Amino acid sequence: MTAPLDRPDASARPAARGRVELDQWSVWFGATAALQDVSLAIAPGGVTALIGPSGCGKSTLLRSINRLDDATVGIRHAGHIRLDGEDVHDPRTDTSVLRQRVGMVFQRSNPFPRSVFDNVVYGPRLNGETDRRTLEEIAERSLRRAALWDEVKDRLRDSALRLSGGQQQRLCIARALANDPGVLLLDEPASALDPLATTRIEELLYDLRREVTIVIVTHNLQQAARVSDRTAFLLAGRLVEVDETARLFTSPREARTEAYITGRFG
């Protein structure tokens, strides 16, 4: 690969893709610092959880990785974010290509008001894929990966808005997976779901971790403990501590981490 963030060539793709590195990453909105000097290396595969109180910069960090805040008025940043060694914020980087390699799922499920099928193949269609058979294959594969196929295989022509909340959220995951991204960002994906639907999402993440690098923002500490391999704790825009999840929750090195996970603030 030569130019920044070329479209990945499926045949020649390196085995381990989806490595994300933040190097002294800082973000300001106007005069307010949202993130300061965050350095964090996320290895390919596995689940990394971002925890911290509201306003600590978790979502900003997540949205920095796919540059979703690019259009926000007054945003500035410093430092580097690298995806598989390529600079995400390089001016030559094509955000469309970047966002196909870094999928994202939001807090509120946001399917388009179209059919289930159309929702899943939005990304491939954007890339110019028109062959019906190929699109159907992609749809089935993505829905299977999102553990939704069995529930919707007879309802592909129905409106996506008729699915339940949990199904809609898994549909959004399938839609992101249809682009075959190396990284999947999830911004509190289960916070609007009931416990059963939450469990299904968590099981799904467990299965996906082998193929995709998953970065999940969550307010739910139990959820972070359940689904993630590594956890990063942010406070007031700074990275306080990052460690194996089991270790961070049982023997945190920082007193502030301990105070947060034992519920003394936040």
Partner 1 sequence: MTVPDAARTAGAASSRALGATRAMQRRRRAGSTMTVLIWAAAGLSLLPLVLIAGHLLVGGVRVLTPTFFTALPAPPGVAGGGVANGIAGTLVLIALASVIGLPVGLGAGLYLAEHRSTRLATIVRYLSDVLSGLPSIVLGIFAWEVVVRPSGQFSALAGGFALGMIMIPLVARATEEMVRLVPVALSEAALALGFTRWRTSLSIVLRTALPGIVTAALVAVARVAGETAPLLFTAFGTPYWSLRVDQPIAALPLQIYNYAMSPYDDWRAQAWGGALVLIVLVLVISMLARRATRSRFASASGGAVND
Binding site residues, partner 1, CB under 8 A: 66, 68, 71, 95-100, 103-104, 106, 108, 110-115, 122-123, 126, 158-162, 172, 175-176, 179
Contact 56, 239 (CB under 8 A): no
- Taken in order 234, 239, 243, 248, the sign of the CA dihedral is negative
> CA-CA distance, 153 to 117, in Å (whole number)?
9
The count of C-alpha atoms lying within 13 angstroms of the C-alpha of 154, restricted to the half-sphere facing its C-beta, is 2
Q: Return the number of other C-beta atoms located less than 10 Å from residue 14's C-beta.
A: 11
Distance in Å, CB of 110 to partner 1, minimum: 4
Residue 187 CB, shortest distance to partner 1, in Å, is 10
**Would you say 91 or 113 has its CB closer to partner 1?**
113
Toward partner 1, which CB reaches closer, 47 or 160?
160
Q: How far is the CB of 209 from partner 1 (least distance, A)?
A: 20
Residue 180 CB burial class (10 angstroms; 0-12, 13-18, ≥19): buried
Query: Which spans in 122-194 are helix H?
Result: 122-126, 132-145, 149-152, 165-177
- Least distance from partner 1 to the Cβ atom of residue 98, Å: 8
Nearer to partner 1, 98 or 239 (CB): 98
Q: Which is nearer to partner 1, 179 or 223 (CB)?
A: 179
Q: Minimum Å distance from CB 69 to partner 1?
A: 10
Q: Which is nearer to partner 1, 7 or 247 (CB)?
A: 7
